[in-house]
Amino acid sequence: MSLQSLPALLRDEPALASVLGRRSAVLAVPEAARPLALAGLARVSGRTPLLVAVPTGTAAQRLADDLQQLLPPEDVELFPAWETLPFERVSPSVEAMGRRLRVLWRLQDDTAARRPRIVVAGIRALLQRLGPDAARVAPAVVRPGQTLDAEVLLAQLVAAGYRREELVEHRGEVARRGSIIDVFPSTADGPVRIDLWGDEVDRLTEFSVHDQRSTDPVDEAVIMPARELRATAEVRARAERLVAAEPWGREQWERLAEGLTFDGMESWLPWLVDGEDLLTDRLPDTAQVVLVPDAVRRFDG
């Protein structure tokens, strides 16, 4: 028996059955059993996704890791927070931004075929406002045998925040050498090499950043954007208006208005969007929210 067979055993558990179909409910579960209880709830509930809110990013990472042992890994997504402090003039990591965008992309699926079963997020991640085009995020998908315009793909990746380099060594980088395009997707564990024969993808492989040699073939490369704030026409127009309205930030507004990508550009997001667009605003009507406390405190007298 594998661990992934355990959640199905909770199908007839009275405690789980008692919370199904209710608008709100409280379920007392020991901390060690919470991943199993959540996996069981995700299995028996007809509502997807299950958004699990926990106090900290560390707790969210730990819970997501546990849930991936009890459910198929693709059914569980971690929605991380930026590692940066508010208004700190540095950008979050490419991986964190890519993983956040992947969650938003998967939630857009109206058919629920691509939606994750569970999304785990810390409170800070839930309160982090989204970029102005978060609802329109989409990856570049490359498969062997596909017809592909190399220049169009490169332009698409650069617009999505990828940096053009001579050699690809880190997430968020892309390089081209003749008919070969190397890219390190923001959410991938390793880089991908696209070998073109004319306009056709002849071969798609992973490769090593140490010796740049191709390794294992892959069936598909899903390349998520590398930045949450991108120089869309809307962002550029907003930044251009801020040059006169908020002259104290003229240097940054001008760079954004010109469509430039620079470190720390995400810290200017509050001036480039109206209102608070959060992850909870992007949940489908079928979603269910579960709040997990840090600890249950008992008071005597």
Q: Which of 214, 198, 199, 222 is nearest to 143 (CA)?
A: 222
Q: Is the peptide bond before 49 cis (omega within 30 degrees of 0)?
A: yes
Distance of CA 78 to the CA centre of its chain: 8
pLDDT-based confidence at residue 1 (cuts at 50, 70, 90): low
Give the model's pLDDT for residue 15: 77
The position carrying tokens 């997707």 is 185
Q: Which of 142, 158, 156, 155 is nearest to 199 (CA)?
A: 142
What is the C-alpha to C-alpha distance for residues 187 and 228, in angstroms, rounded to an integer? 13
Distance of CA 205 to the CA centre of its chain: 23
Measure the CA dihedral 262/266/267/272, to 10°.
Answer: 110
Q: Is 33 exposed, middle or buried (0-12, 13-18, 19+ CB in 10 A)?
A: exposed
CB within 8 Å of 84: residues ≥ 6 apart: 90, 91, 92, 266, 267
Q: Which of 105, 99, 131, 110 is nearest to 284 (CA)?
A: 110
pLDDT in tens, 186-224: 999 999 999 999 999 999 999 999 999 999 999 999 999
CB atoms near residue 117 (< 10 Å): 19
What is the C-alpha to C-alpha distance for residues 294 and 245, in angstroms, rounded to an integer? 44
CB 54 within 8 A of CB 121: yes
pLDDT in tens, 56-107: 999 999 999 999 999 999 999 999 999 988 778 899 999 999 999 999 999 9
Domains of the chain, start order: 3-128+287-291 (3.40.50.11180), 141-223 (3.30.2060.10), 233-265 (no CATH)
DSSP state of 236: H
Q: How far is CA 263 from CA 125, 162, 184, 210, in A?
A: 21, 12, 18, 26
**Can you count the helices (H) and strands (E) in the chain?**
8, 12
DSSP state of 218: -
Percent of the chain beyond pLDDT 90?
64
pLDDT in tens, 129-174: 898 888 788 899 999 999 999 999 999 999 999 999 999 999 999 9
Average pLDDT over residues 272-295: 87
pLDDT-based confidence at residue 176 (cuts at 50, 70, 90): very high
Measure the CA dihedral 64/284/21/42, to 10°.
Answer: -20
Q: How far is CA 123 from CA 237, 280, 285, in A?
A: 32, 11, 21
DSSP state of 127: T
- This prediction has a pTM of 0.90
